[in-house]
Structure 1
Amino acid sequence: MNVTIRQERPSDYDAIRELVRKSFENAEFTDGDEHHLVDRLRASDAYIPELALVAENEEQLVGFILCTKITIENGENRYESLALARVAVDPRFQNLGIGGKLINGMHELAKKLGFGSIILLGHAEYYPRFGYRPTYTFDIHLPFEVPKENSMAIELSDGTLKGIQGTVRYPEAFGI
């Protein structure tokens, strides 16, 4: 399989919407709205076009990843970070390393763009293999209750979260 990673294009939007819908339709924890969330995030000020990536295999979209701007707030202090909003892989192509290629590609790109960290809510067994740690180890918290092992963060460079603590504030598009 020859998978290439590239930035999404407007001509991909319909295929991405369907890919995200299909990849989450049987997920254990879902509100069934992930594909619409991607559209809302893309239309928001938090959207960074360079951080919306697709995975292609023989000109077919088989994966998608999106990071958007967030802040970590503590009183008057605000720190810019990213939210890994969605990673989606076509169910027919799961467990082939495509998600990992998207995540690693996102890390490299976000770091090149000057971002120091990414926060996510996800599977406690999957994301640590890419360097994610529970947010509580950084004294960072989500604005809602979730199992503590599912709220994770990564420093894209050593020490980028050192001394940063507070609560994650998501863009309005998340509906939180």
Structure 2
Amino acid sequence: MNLKNKSLIIRPETTLDYESISIVNDLAFGQQNEAKLIDKIRNSDRYISELSLVAELEHKIIGYIMFSWIDLVAEKNLKVLALAPLAVLPQSQNQGVGSALVNQGLLIADNQNIPLVIVLGHPNFYAKFGFEPSLKYNIESPFEIPKEVFMVKLLKSYQQDTCGKVVYPSAFNDL
């Protein structure tokens, strides 16, 4: 599929999109874990409807991104965002759909005075959006993983003393 000369629409999900979103995630990841995660987050207090976005092309959903609340725990708990999952139909990958979803989500988050976004992902992809290894800002991963894949994107309301250990809600336990 070639996206040239076609209008990609990025918009918040609606209940009518749920089945298509599950299909996009299942095909992109080759498993159902991410679709199950999305359902668990939607049914929790961690869900943010305006930050669950679809990419639509010619009335078909071809991509999806979800940002949801997680905790950054130190002397005080701070709610920050997790970016997970990001999925694009295999035939629509490497054409800017994922980048459009990330850019729109970060713009919305920045306008809501959220201090930062956490992602566990490919450094080469997420560095394009300003994500950096989280340890640079004394933000610890709850997982034993290579330090370069646990990243943070500072937004305009970030304050220098914002640090701690990330705690994911129980919805993430089955991944």
Normalising by the smaller structure, the TM-score range is: over 0.9
CA contact (8 A) 2:134 2:152 kept: yes
Q: Deviations along 1:41-79, whole A, 9 cap, x unmatched? A: 1111100111100000000001000000011101x3112
SS in structure 1 at match of 2:124: coil
1:147 matched residue in structure 2: 146
1:9 matched residue in structure 2: 14
- Give the C-alpha shift of residue 142 in structure 1: 1.2
Alpha-carbon RMSD across the aligned residues, in angstroms, is 1.3
Are 1:118 and 2:123 an aligned pair? no
CA contact (8 A) 1:155 1:161 kept: no
Give me the whole-angstrom Cα distance separating, in 2, the residues matched to 1:90 and 1:83.
21
Residue type of the alignment partner of 2:12: Q
2:100 matched residue in structure 1: 101
Equivalence map 1:21-170=2 (5 Å): 21-25=26-30, 32-74=32-74, 76-157=75-156, 160-170=158-168
TM (norm. structure 2) is 0.92
- Give the C-alpha shift of residue 162 in structure 1: 1.4
SS in structure 1 at match of 2:107: helix
Q: Which runs of 4+ in 1 moved over 2 A?
A: none
Identity %: 37
Give me the whole-angstrom Cα distance separating, in 2, the residues matched to 1:152 and 1:124.
8
Give me the whole-angstrom Cα distance separating, in 2, the residues matched to 1:161 and 1:40.
30
Residue type of the alignment partner of 1:107: L
Structure 1 gap ranges (5+): 26-30
CA contact (8 A) 2:55 2:61 kept: yes
CA contact (8 A) 2:13 2:53 kept: yes
Structure 2 gap ranges (5+): 1-5
More helix by share: 2
Residue type of the alignment partner of 2:71: T
Task: State how many pairs are aligned.
Answer: 169
TM (norm. structure 1) is 0.92
